[in-house]
Structures are given as structure tokens and as C-alpha cells.
């Protein structure tokens, strides 16, 4: 997808799109592929994986802890 295609219908200026793409590229969320005079961009959702791993760790952590809390309360709070 090119900057021009992203600009059409997005309601955002081409300059703003280019800026966003630059940042997304730095963040590893977008990859570019030059072809002739055009540059095509595509999303690389794998860039979100480190965050997903960390969140997943805590999601599992808290659910485990809630189960442990339930057992503890049953034991101490007759």
C-alpha cells in the first residue's frame, strides 16, 4: 500500500501519513518495499509480540494468583 492510497479516504494529509509511517517503521510495526518510483508499505504485527508476551505473562500470573487467593480464603475464613 502506498502513501497516496493511505491518504485517500483517511482524512489525514499525506505529510501526516508519511510521518506516521516513519514512526511505525522505527517501531517495527510497518515494513517498506520500494518498487520503481513507488514505495509499498505493509503492516508487521509481529512487532507487537514482545508486548503481547509481557502482558500474557501477567495475565496468566494474576489468574493463577486469584485461584490461590480463593484457596487461601477458604482455608483461613471458615
Q: Which residues in this chain contact another protein in the complex, by CB under 8 A? A: 1, 5-6, 10, 12, 16-17, 19-21, 23-24, 26-30, 40-43, 45, 48-51, 53-55, 57-59, 62-63, 65-66, 68-73, 76-77
Calpha distance 24→1 (Å, rounded): 14
CA–CA distance, 75 with 69 (Å, rounded to integer):
10
CB closer to another protein out of 4 and 72: 72
Nearer to another protein, 36 or 77 (CB): 77
Measured CA angle at 11 (ends 15, 31), to 5 deg: 55
Amino acid at each position: 500500500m502506498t502513501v497516496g492510497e493511505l491518504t485517500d479516504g483517511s482524512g489525514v494529509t499525506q505529510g501526516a501519513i508519511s510521518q506516521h509511517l516513519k514512526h511505525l517503521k522505527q517501531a517495527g510495526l510497518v515494513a517498506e518495499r520500494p518498487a520503481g518510483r513507488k514505495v509499498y508499505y505493509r503492516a508487521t504485527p509481529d512487532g507487537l509480540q514482545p508486548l503481547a508476551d509481557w502482558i500474557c505473562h501477567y495475565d496468566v500470573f494474576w489468574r493463577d494468583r486469584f485461584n490461590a487467593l480463593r484457596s487461601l480464603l477458604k482455608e483461613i475464613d471458615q
